[in-house]
Structure 1
Amino acid sequence: MLKQANINRIVLAIVLTVSSLIIGMLGFTGIENFNLVDAFYMTVTTVSTVGYGEVHPLSTAGRIFVSFYILYNLVVVAYLVSVLSSFIFDGELRKLFNMFRTDQEIKHFSGHVIVCGFGRNGRRAYQELRANGARVVAVEMDQELMKSFAEGRDDEDYEGTDLAGEKIFAVFGDATSDRVLMQAGVQRASALITALPKDADNVFVALSARALNPHLKIIARASYKTSESKLLSAGANSVVMPDEIGGSHMAKLVVRPEVIRFLDLISGLSADKLRLEELAFAQMRHDFHGQSIRDLDIRSRTGATIIGLRQQEGALLVSPPADYVPKAGDVLLVLGSEAQIESFEVKYRQL
């Protein structure tokens, strides 16, 4: 939106300048019967206030025209100078160029994730996605908010991390607009997270995104329970209600504190965090295909533990039997520390 406003200012300045030249030439040819060369010369000298002199003496009508024409051009020149000054001295031209370059880079993205809204939930989602190596495009109306986040000035969790100071690919505008979503590459994206403050806006984003990309995975934020069904009907695959989750989390800290502390380890909310990773059968090294979970011997080789397995049919096996042989379409769920998961990926993930 900001970029479009800047472009509109440039376009308006160009239109006013060109229209001023046309008005001047029409006036001098129509009133004074000057030829095109003389009319152009008189127009330029009048607009620039150089004052080299008149080609021919002006009639009374010509003098009246020139008087009002000069007053009109005082406004045009003042606006033109203000636009050029802001672009040159205030860095607007550099910002516009950077935005254009970012747009060109985003056009080459495929399989990326779009995060709409950069409030607390949106920023946290961005951090988690980037920490896991995902390519992310943010959609936000507040350019200053994005700038402060990129500089690590508004988020203590962000400052000092490996992400601090990295380039953020962002589209500035209203996420409910199809044009903005297309600018973010929604047709080529693999997933979209809409974390706007208003549930109605999230419904609209989900509806628009689903229409633009039928295969897109959409995760939506909701403040009210009544919005969940609307978001699902609009095309969201999953709906997350942070307030409800937060209240439930606090209550369970009272009744089942150790369970919640363990979940905090997995979610990364604790200092000594664990990592829960998934490995699809297609991503597993070929020499492990056909081996049972016992034969894979993941725990003794890496320290990580298989806590679940999602079968191709959709069923989820918790602590799958040791004799179970993973097959095409299955996904292993593995839990361990950062070091253990890294060792697991080195040994079992196909490069």
Structure 2
Amino acid sequence: MPPIIKPPRPGLANYLRDIWQRFNLSRFVGALALTGTGLAAGIGGFMYIEHFSFRDALYMTMITVSTVGYGELHPLSPEGRLFVSIYIFFNLLILAYLLSVLTTYIFDGGLRNMFAMLRNDQEIRSYDGHVIVCGFGRNGRKAYLELRASGAQVVVVELDEAVLQEDVADEAAQDKNISVVRGDATLDDTLRAAGVERARALITTLPKDADNVFVALTARELAPSITIVARASLKSSETKLLRAGADSVVMPDEIGGSHMANLIMRPEVIRFLDMISGLGPHRLRLEELRTEELRPELRGRSIRELDVRSRTGTTVIGLRHQSGEFTISPPADIVPVPGDVFLFLGTEEQIVKLLDLFRLV
């Protein structure tokens, strides 16, 4: 359809250019163009030198190129024999080149990778309410693993393909079904290709703070309601990221230093937090549940009446009220109202049982 009626999809040009560059399609197209030129030269040569009709010239060209030796339609003139001799020699070179290119694409996985990329793109276009992770370094990989473990759909945006193929001993490296957009996350087209308009959240963990600022600014402009979490290395970058549109800023170095100090001063507290974060030997899980997500028959009941502890083993450790205030260890007689959010703590099995019994399907 003409562009004036329906403009091409955002990022389509970058997407096609990415396919062209990654799979070296210029070599493949060049081989096809060279083959077509050879066929045209053969037809033209037979028509000009031997005065064959187009059909006869096409037939002679095809049996000459394929070397099947069916025989000549008409006896060739000396000039015609010279032309055929030269034509066969150069076409053997062209066919050898074409076969080498096809062999590379078929046996070296070029076609398979291309189709896999096309399937990956179609899968991303079907996502809605997913999470975008920009950067697949140490922080990006950890965020990806946590999100996938929680059942979220995740799209990774990474420019360096070597980072995606890095041989590291973690679960993300072994996951062959990672939905990836290869490109610069600071560009509008790249984020559109990742479905930023349909995503519910974006995490940017790029190495440079300036790049994270650009990602936050771009994502906020393209999707005003999206939740943005950004990584920062410098304290001075925190304010810039918040002004650019980030909802939360995480500084791994600062968190790491505080964590090490607390391991000295409050070791048992840190061990408990490690269990919650999944770093300890006995992993615990935090979960939230809105009152609107409760089964209809459970709404309007107090925490005592819900009897979460005895029914599932989980503990209600907090209640965020609609006003934004938190109540830690809420009283058993409190009755949550619409807009309140429960915070639960338990093992993986206990949380799964909680969701099965209490959450509206």
Task: Say yes or no: TM over 0.5.
Answer: yes
What is the letter of the counterpart of residue 134 of structure 1?
A: A
What is the letter of the counterpart of residue 93 of structure 1?
A: L
Corresponding residue number in structure 1 for 2:22: 5
Corresponding residue number in structure 1 for 2:99: 81
Corresponding residue number in structure 2 for 1:116: 134
> Deviation digits for residues 199-229 of structure 1, max 9, x if unmatched?
2332333333333322222222222223223
Separation of aligned partners in 2, 1:9 and 1:190 = 40
Separation of aligned partners in 1, 2:359 and 2:157 = 33
> Structure 1 residue 167 and structure 2 residue 177: aligned?
yes
SS across alignment from 2:196: coil
Corresponding residue number in structure 2 for 1:343: 353
Unpaired runs of 5+ in structure 1?
none
The alignment's TM-score, normalised by the length of structure 1, stands at: 0.80
Corresponding residue number in structure 2 for 1:100: 118
> Deviation digits for residues 278-297 of structure 1, max 9, x if unmatched?
01111112122112223323
> Structure 1 residue 155 and structure 2 residue 169: aligned?
yes
Q: CA deviation at 1:3?
A: 6.5
Q: CA deviation at 1:101?
A: 2.1
Task: Decide whether the 8 Å contact of 2:283 with 2:347 is kept in 1.
Answer: yes
Separation of aligned partners in 1, 2:246 and 2:50 = 68
Separation of aligned partners in 2, 1:87 and 1:224 = 46
Separation of aligned partners in 2, 1:138 and 1:3 = 21
The alignment's TM-score, normalised by the length of structure 2, stands at: 0.78
What is the letter of the counterpart of residue 119 of structure 1?
A: G
Separation of aligned partners in 1, 2:204 and 2:182 = 15
**CA separation of 1:325/1:16 partners in 2, compared to 1, >3 Å: closer, same or farther?**
farther
Task: Decide whether the 8 Å contact of 1:173 with 1:180 is kept in 2.
Answer: yes
| Equivalent residue for 1:316, pick from 290, 312, 326 | 326
Separation of aligned partners in 2, 1:126 and 1:278 = 20
What is the letter of the counterpart of residue 171 of structure 1?
A: V
Corresponding residue number in structure 2 for 1:226: 236
Unpaired runs of 5+ in structure 2?
1-17
Count how many residue pairs are aligned between Structure 1 and Structure 2: 341
Separation of aligned partners in 2, 1:229 and 1:70 = 71
Separation of aligned partners in 2, 1:14 and 1:197 = 42
| Equivalent residue for 2:157, pick from 119, 139, 160 | 139
Separation of aligned partners in 1, 2:60 and 2:237 = 66
Task: Decide whether the 8 Å contact of 1:291 with 1:325 is kept in 2.
Answer: yes
Task: Decide whether the 8 Å contact of 2:133 with 2:202 is kept in 1.
Answer: yes
**CA separation of 1:35/1:302 partners in 2, compared to 1, >3 Å: closer, same or farther?**
same
Q: CA deviation at 1:34?
A: 6.7
**CA separation of 1:139/1:22 partners in 2, compared to 1, >3 Å: closer, same or farther?**
farther
What is the letter of the counterpart of residue 257 of structure 2?
A: G
- Identity level (%): 56
Corresponding residue number in structure 1 for 2:281: 271
19-28 or 302-311, larger mean C-alpha shift? 19-28
**CA separation of 1:206/1:71 partners in 2, compared to 1, >3 Å: closer, same or farther?**
farther
What is the letter of the counterpart of residue 244 of structure 1?
A: E
137-146 or 268-277, larger mean C-alpha shift? 137-146
**CA separation of 1:208/1:50 partners in 2, compared to 1, >3 Å: closer, same or farther?**
farther
Q: CA deviation at 1:307?
A: 1.7
What is the letter of the counterpart of residue 152 of structure 2?
A: A
SS across alignment from 1:244: helix
Separation of aligned partners in 2, 1:215 and 1:281 = 22
Task: Decide whether the 8 Å contact of 1:2 with 1:172 is kept in 2.
Answer: no
**CA separation of 1:19/1:112 partners in 2, compared to 1, >3 Å: closer, same or farther?**
farther
Task: Decide whether the 8 Å contact of 1:232 with 1:238 is kept in 2.
Answer: yes
Separation of aligned partners in 1, 2:209 and 2:277 = 25
Separation of aligned partners in 1, 2:152 and 2:304 = 32
Separation of aligned partners in 2, 1:124 and 1:3 = 31
| Equivalent residue for 2:251, pick from 218, 228, 241 | 241
> Structure 1 residue 14 and structure 2 residue 28: aligned?
no
What is the letter of the counterpart of residue 309 of structure 2?
A: R
SS across alignment from 2:126: coil
**CA separation of 1:179/1:13 partners in 2, compared to 1, >3 Å: closer, same or farther?**
farther
